[in-house]
Chains A and B, each alone.
Chain A
Amino acid sequence: SQTIHQWPATLVQPVGSPLSLECTVEGTSNPNLYWYRQAAGRGLQLLFYSVGIGQISSEVPQNLSASRPQDRQFILSSKKLLLSDSGFYLCAWSIGGHPGNTIYFGEGSWLTVV
């Protein structure tokens, strides 16, 4: 069966510090991978999605970046965090090559920028 792991689960970072959130998927090949952000009490904002290694589509211009160094690994990064980067970050995957398929989410990472 497929599983998705995301870490760290929570982190508190000072403004201006770097960020790295990592996500891995097991039990499937060539998945579509996604990073979403959810501010407190708000909806799910799509940040990045990837249909293959090295292929990243950015949806919102900001100080975040994403990378996919391996087929089932998706990393969200920032060189300098802003207060507005605080939120709940969710990694997700869906079956590759099949648009409109079910999305499976990781447990999420709570980021507080102070």
Chain B
Amino acid sequence: GQQVMQIPQYQHVQEGEDFTTYCNSSTTLSNIQWYKQRPGGHPVFLIQLVKSGEVKKQKRLTFQFGEAKKNSSLHITATQTTDVGTYFCNYGGATNKLIFGTGTLLAVQP
């Protein structure tokens, strides 16, 4: 069956450093979504990528969808303490069964 790995599981950075999390699939994905969950909160939608090679930006966040649509990345430039939380990819794609990656917990030290 479809397997999606999200790496790393945990990342600790100094404020101002960059951060990247990756979502890698064994099969082609129809689309991918990224969510952020603040500590103690619920996941909140960030963005959806649909096209092969697609790149989208939200201020300091850059999202990419691989050419083969098997992987995706979320890059944060110059992290801030407000970026703390867990970042999840979601790859339900063409079905109603929406599965999340294992998540990457980001800790930012001021």
Contacts and interface: CB of A to CB of B under 8 A. Distances in A.
B93 A102 contact: no
Contacts of B92: 99-100
Interface string B68-110: 0000000000000000000010101111111111110100000
Q: How large is the interface on B (under 10, 10 to 19, 20 to 34, 35 or more residues)?
A: 20 to 34
- By CB atoms of chain B within 10 A, which of A42, A44, A59, A103 has the most? A44
A42 B98 CA distance: 17
A32 interface: yes
A51 B96 contact: yes
Interface stretch (A16-24, A63-71, A73-81, A105-113): A105-113
Given A43-B88, A44-B100, A106 B42 contact: yes
- By CB atoms of chain A within 10 A, which of B41, B90, B97, B103 has the most? B97
Contacts of B95: 99-100
A104 interface: yes
Chain B residues touching A, majority SS:
loop
Nearest to B32: A100
Given A44-B88, A59-B97, A100 B31 contact: yes
A90 interface: yes
Interface string A78-106: 00000000000010001000011011111
A49 B45 contact: no
Contact of A105 (B44, B96, B103): B44
A57 interface: yes
